[in-house]
């Protein structure tokens, strides 16, 4: 190990230790844009770009030559630091078989246990730009770090980089509408759901409206398939289609669609033949409510 590499390793070890010490009081704290980043005093006075990657991320590795080129182009005005949570052993094995990794000379922080987990990222590549004063300025995807965006920033202008901010605890196994206790509902454009009978004798169907009169929801509780058709074709619970004499059933066995004439069979029939349905749309899609 030459003198430069020895100094670099010492610097990176000091950097990580200082960051860990700074985070001891708040293990669950999260770093974000506009916040100071601890332990980066060695890079004050220049633009620091943290390039988070891992050994299984092919786009990350493929971008190393571009990152090296950017470092060479801007010289001591910037510093690109490669950061990975992978162990030194994994990185060394990758280097043995990858000419790209062999040819890159950017400083690298391996076995990271402090930096990545404090950012709102769940995937790599992820880049964090830290300004000369030690404040986080941008969090973005790797492809947004370019000669043009860096040049714009160094000229004192805003490169307007898209923000990378992810839900690290996203549950891919949960139903979409239930994920995170329903936190994705605010992103809903429209949805529809059909269930078996609700555990109540209450039965009702209708169209719900926004305060301005825009129809955005159709809801039916414990109604038959025939009633759902009547609601859909009439686009209202009060249309002429609500009357049975306006409906012609051309099927062999209408027993599942019509309520039984024998009232003693009603309880059994409604358990097997009534449903709950709801469709909801954003006001912008109101014209699709019955389409």
In terms of domains, do 185 and 106 share one? Answer: no
Per residue in 206-241, pLDDT (tens digit) is 999 999 999 999 999 999 999 999 999 888 888 888
In terms of domains, do 74 and 116 share one? Answer: yes
Give the residue from 154, 169, 199 where a domain finishes.
Answer: 154
**Residues in a beta bridge with 227:** none
Domain assignment of residue 96, given as a range: 3-154
Residue 288, pLDDT > 60, answer yes
Residue 59 falls within a domain, yes or no? yes
In terms of domains, do 134 and 183 share one? Answer: no
φ, ψ dihedrals at 125, nearest 5°: -75, 145
Write the CATH number for 51: 3.40.30.10
Residue 173 falls within a domain, yes or no? no
Question: Quick one: 46 exposed, middle or buried, by C-beta within 10 A (0-12, 13-18, 19+)?
Answer: middle
User: Percent of the chain, pLDDT > 70?
Assistant: 90
In terms of domains, do 140 and 269 share one? Answer: no
Residue 168 falls within a domain, yes or no? no
Overall residue count recorded for the chain in this entry = 291
Residue 166 falls within a domain, yes or no? no
In terms of domains, do 9 and 123 share one? Answer: yes
The torsion of the CA quartet 73, 74, 76, 78, rounded to 10 degrees, works out to -130
In terms of domains, do 27 and 108 share one? Answer: yes
In terms of domains, do 88 and 211 share one? Answer: no
Could you tell me if 156 and 242 are in contact, meaning their C-beta atoms sit under 8 angstroms apart?
Answer: no
Residue 241 falls within a domain, yes or no? yes
pLDDT score, position 1:
42
- What average pLDDT score do residues 244-267 get? 90
- What average pLDDT score do residues 87-108 get? 96
pLDDT score, position 4:
44
Residue 161 falls within a domain, yes or no? no
pLDDT score, position 28:
59
Per residue in 125-173, pLDDT (tens digit) is 999 999 999 999 999 999 999 999 999 999 999 999 999 999 989 999 9
| pTM of this structure | 0.73
Which three-class secondary structure state does DSSP give residue 66? Answer: helix
Spatial distance between the Cα atoms of 89 and 86, rounded to a whole number of angstroms: 8
In terms of domains, do 130 and 28 share one? Answer: yes
Residue 209: DSSP 8-state: E
pLDDT score, position 14:
46
Q: pLDDT category, 6, cuts 50, 70, 90?
A: very low
- What average pLDDT score do residues 268-286 get? 95
- What average pLDDT score do residues 189-206 get? 93
- What average pLDDT score do residues 81-89 get? 96
In terms of domains, do 135 and 238 share one? Answer: no
In terms of domains, do 225 and 86 share one? Answer: no
Q: Are strands 47-52 and 78-83 parallel, antiparallel or unpaired?
A: parallel
In terms of domains, do 7 and 124 share one? Answer: yes
Count of domains for the chain:
2
In terms of domains, do 131 and 220 share one? Answer: no
Least confident of 25-39, 151-165, 167-181, 186-200: 25-39
pLDDT score, position 20:
45
Residue 165 falls within a domain, yes or no? no
Give the residue from 119, 154, 189 where a domain finishes.
Answer: 154
End-to-end C-alpha distance for the chain, whole angstroms: 70
User: Percent of the chain, pLDDT > 90?
Assistant: 73
């Amino acid at each position: 190990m030459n003198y430069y590499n020895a100094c670099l390793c010492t610097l990176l070890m000091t950097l990580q230790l200082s960051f860990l010490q700074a985070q001891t009081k708040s293990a669950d704290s999260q770093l974000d844009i506009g916040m100071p980043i601890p332990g980066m005093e060695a890079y004050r006075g220049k633009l620091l770009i943290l390039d988070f990657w891992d050994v299984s991320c092919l786009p990350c590795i493929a971008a190393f030559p571009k990152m090296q080129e950017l470092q060479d182009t801007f010289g001591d005005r910037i510093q690109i630091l490669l950061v990975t949570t992978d162990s030194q052993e994994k990185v060394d094995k990758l280097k043995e078989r990858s000419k790209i990794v062999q040819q890159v000379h950017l400083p690298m922080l391996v076995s990271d246990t402090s930096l990545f987990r404090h950012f709102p990222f769940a995937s790599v590549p992820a880049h964090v730009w830290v300004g000369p004063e030690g404040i986080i300025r941008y969090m973005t995807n790797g492809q947004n770090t370019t000669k043009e965006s860096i040049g714009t920033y160094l000229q004192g202008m805003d490169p307007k980089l898209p923000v990378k901010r992810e839900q690290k605890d996203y549950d891919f196994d949960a139903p979409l509408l239930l994920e995170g206790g329903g936190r994705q509902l605010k992103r809903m454009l429209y949805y529809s759901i059909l269930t078996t009978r609700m555990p109540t004798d209450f039965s009702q169907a209708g169209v719900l409206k926004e305060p301005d009169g825009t129809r955005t929801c159709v809801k039916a509780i414990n109604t038959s398939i025939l009633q759902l058709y009547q609601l859909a074709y009439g686009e209202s619970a009060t249309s002429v289609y609500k009357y049975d004499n306006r409906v012609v059933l051309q099927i062999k066995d209408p027993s599942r669609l019509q309520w039984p004439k024998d009232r003693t069979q009603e309880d059994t029939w409604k358990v097997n033949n009534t449903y709950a349905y709801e469709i909801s749309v954003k006001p912008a899609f109101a014209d699709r409510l019955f389409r």
